[in-house]
Structure 1
Amino acid sequence: MDPKTRITQFQRLIADDPNNDMAYFSLGNALLQNEQYEEAGDTFAKCAQINEAMTKAYQLAGDAYIKAGRVDQAKVVLTKGYIEATTRGDLMPKNAIADMLASINEPLPEVKNETPKPEAPVEPEGDFLCQKTKQRGTQLPRPPFKNGVGNWIYENISKQTFDEWIGMGTKVINELRLDLSRDEHDAVYDYAMRVFLGINDEIYEQVMGRKPVMPDGQFRTVIDEIMSKGGHLESYQGNMHTQVED
């Protein structure tokens, strides 16, 4: 699918769900591929505004702004991104952002506490039984996607578990350097989500009416490893992507 078609597709997703951070992230990648750098920067910045944990979005916003000649805006978004990546322990975006700040002669901001941010307090139990954890929580306010998978998640996965997936999904994007405007990388992200939430092939076929698109075998192996480690990948020092690169 060419970038212009993808741009239109993701713009429609955003129109339907203005708070969909992944739609903004995907749109930003499509705009970047189409060399619409200023628009890409604004889109990635919006993604980061919606989901501050998406530290890769800060990195890509800064890169796009630099290419668009908006250096002052790049300084702002990269500075905030460096602080977020540092406090969250996202090593790869942190290092990439540091390099970009150096390239525009902007000093690194001081980060008083460089330990990862503490986990959010556990929300009180609700009356919704999550089929993944078998624990009670709260139901999502609406399906996260407008398709069969989104409806299944709404009916079976608690808000608490889905929020955990959002955090894990961010790590998958960062660690594997995924570009969600590419079909093969989008398939990797979807596979990771299915594994994390327990959406097996049988469930997928039942709710979508077709077989799921499977990523390359190397990606599947790495995704399984990420899931087995619960997203704790500090020992890889940001180099896990080398396992799936030629």
Structure 2
Amino acid sequence: MTEANTTDERDPRLEQRIAQFENMTTADPKNEMAHFSLGNAYLQAGRAAEAAKCFEKVVELNADMSKAYQLAGEAMLDAGLEDRAVMVLEAGWKVAATRGDLLVRDGIGEKLESIGRTPPALSEEENATADELAASGSFICRRTGRTGTQLEGPPFKGPIGVWIQENISFQTWNDWIGQGTKVINELRLDFSREEDQESYDQHMREFLGIDDELREKLLEG
């Protein structure tokens, strides 16, 4: 079980991000991206139970966001809530499989198997939905699970930019631009300072669902 950081171990910058995202979710309770980012920040702080609640809120707001199911289930396991975690992970596996989100589907499947559970089977209707979506050729945003428009090119150079172009919709990227502006203004970031640029980049990765494992994999090529 993940233990919360003690007061002496708290990262001031992480606490600042948590406070910022808490303010965002309070100001706009229907902002699924803010709840998602807050959940990620809670996870980094070792606050698994609180993270799980955030990701459950995301699922409530957007039942197609398979990544939120995965993170909610994993956080519940860390918090010792296995029965609830299994229910959420199984539901997320079906959403991911139906919408063609293979990375999340496989990740959830591995997590279920690690606790002695088997991923659920899709119903005929769910299989038909998956086949129909695959045949349509629609672009599915891996961040939101919704259909959208693919970016015409990477938003910036490097492997992370390429991944964003291949996996994040134009609509979600535009949402980040708006959110990123709030980050700049609220944190008073100065891009001439390296630490401020990294803070902005970290907020972007959290918003788009690029966790540390995926980031390292992309940078390794």
TM-score between both structures, scaled by the size of structure 1: 0.54
Aligned residue number for residue 130 of structure 2: 116
Q: How does 1:62-73 map to 2 (within 5 A)?
A: 62-73=73-84
The answer as to whether partners of 2:151 and 2:165 remain within 8 angstroms in 1 is: no
Gaps of 5+ in 2: 1-11, 170-213
Aligned residue number for residue 164 of structure 2: 223
Gaps of 5+ in 1: 120-163, 173-192, 199-213, 229-238
Q: How does 1:29-68 map to 2 (within 5 A)?
A: 29-68=40-79
Aligned residue type for 1:219: I
* 105 and 4 in structure 1: CA distance in 2 versus 1, 3 angstrom threshold: same
1:168 aligns with 2:182: no
The answer as to whether partners of 1:41 and 1:65 remain within 8 angstroms in 2 is: yes
> 112, 116, 120: which one pairs with 1:101?
112
Deviation per CA, 1:12-50: give whole Å up to 9, x if none: 111111111111110000000000011111111111221
Aligned residue type for 2:17: R
Deviation per CA, 1:104-155: give whole Å up to 9, x if none: 2223222113352756xxxxxxxxxxxxxxxxxxxxxxxxxxxxxxxxxxxx
Deviation per CA, 1:76-98: give whole Å up to 9, x if none: 11011011111111101101111
The answer as to whether partners of 1:88 and 1:117 remain within 8 angstroms in 2 is: no
Report the Cα offset of residue 227 of structure 1: 7.3
Report the Cα offset of residue 216 of structure 1: 5.7
State how far apart, in whole Å, the 2-side matches of 1:170 and 1:226 are: 8
TM-score between both structures, scaled by the size of structure 2: 0.59
Aligned residue type for 1:104: I
SS at match of 2:130: coil
Aligned residue number for residue 24 of structure 2: 13
The answer as to whether partners of 1:44 and 1:60 remain within 8 angstroms in 2 is: yes
Report the Cα offset of residue 169 of structure 1: 5.8
> What value does the CA root-mean-square deviation take over the aligned residues?
3.4
State how far apart, in whole Å, the 2-side matches of 1:67 and 1:60 are: 10
The answer as to whether partners of 1:79 and 1:109 remain within 8 angstroms in 2 is: yes
State how far apart, in whole Å, the 2-side matches of 1:74 and 1:197 are: 38
| Aligned pairs, number | 155
Report the Cα offset of residue 170 of structure 1: 1.3
Aligned residue number for residue 244 of structure 1: 219
State how far apart, in whole Å, the 2-side matches of 1:22 and 1:75 are: 24
* 227 and 57 in structure 1: CA distance in 2 versus 1, 3 angstrom threshold: closer
Report the Cα offset of residue 58 of structure 1: 0.7
Deviation per CA, 1:220-245: give whole Å up to 9, x if none: 234345579xxxxxxxxxx9984434
Aligned residue type for 2:130: P
Seq. identity, %: 36
Aligned residue type for 1:218: P
The answer as to whether partners of 2:24 and 2:34 remain within 8 angstroms in 1 is: yes
The answer as to whether partners of 2:142 and 2:167 remain within 8 angstroms in 1 is: no
